[in-house]
Amino acid sequence: MTTRLSLFNSPLLLGFDQFERTLDRIAKNSAEGYPPYNIEQIGEDGLRITLAVAGFTSEDLSVQTEDNQLVIRGRQTDDRSRVYLHRGIAARQFQRSFVLAEGIEVIGASLDNGLLNVDLRRPMPEPKVRTIKIEQTRTDQGAAKGPQTIDVAPDRSEA
């Protein structure tokens, strides 16, 4: 039996199971090499993913969001009317997935000179601070549970 060491098994990291599954999925997808892509920062809250998809038309491509993933698929079909003396550019299909952080929106996609650009918007998070009220509870026999006030008598032993 093989035991896998988890990055998120610390008792200080609560509720990060989803992140671990996401990292596993990213590791599987990172082995894919086709098509090559760039990710660039566009403005303060914008991102652009550019994939090199030479030979694909917009009808050959699909861009979808599935849960928290951006999935880009390409499917070319062979043109049976062509007779090739040498075929170095094969009609192929691909699927490239990108895991999106919570709140990232896909703004649009465009195809220009063999490059598929997918624009994303990453909203800037607002800092959230919340104070939690601490209530005093008493659990003695016969005592009612709930908020209680504790009176402390002054220490008179030093007089």
Distance, CA of 74 to CA of 95 (rounded, Å): 6
Structure tokens at 107: 């703004």
Residue 98, class by beta-carbon neighbours within 10 Å (0-12 exposed, 13-18 middle, 19+ buried)?
A: buried
- pLDDT, residue 27, reads 58
Q: What is the pLDDT of residues 60-75, one digit of tens each?
A: 999 999 988 999 999 9
The full set of domain ranges for the chain reads 35-121
Closest CA to 18 of 83, 87, 68: 68
Q: What is the mean pLDDT of residues 29-51?
A: 86
Read off the amino acid at residue 5.
L
- Amino acid at residue number 47: L
| pLDDT for the residue numbered 110 | 97
pLDDT digits (tens, 9 = 90+) for 88-114: 877 789 999 998 988 899 999 999 999
Q: Whole-angstrom Cα distance, residue 95 to residue 53?
A: 12
Cβ-in-10-Å burial (0-12, 13-18, 19+) of 49 comes to buried
- CA nearest 76: which of 88, 54, 96, 92? 92
Question: pLDDT at residue 5 above 80?
Answer: no
Q: Is the pLDDT of residue 2 over 90?
A: no
Please name the fold of domain 35-121. Immunoglobulin-like (2.60.40)
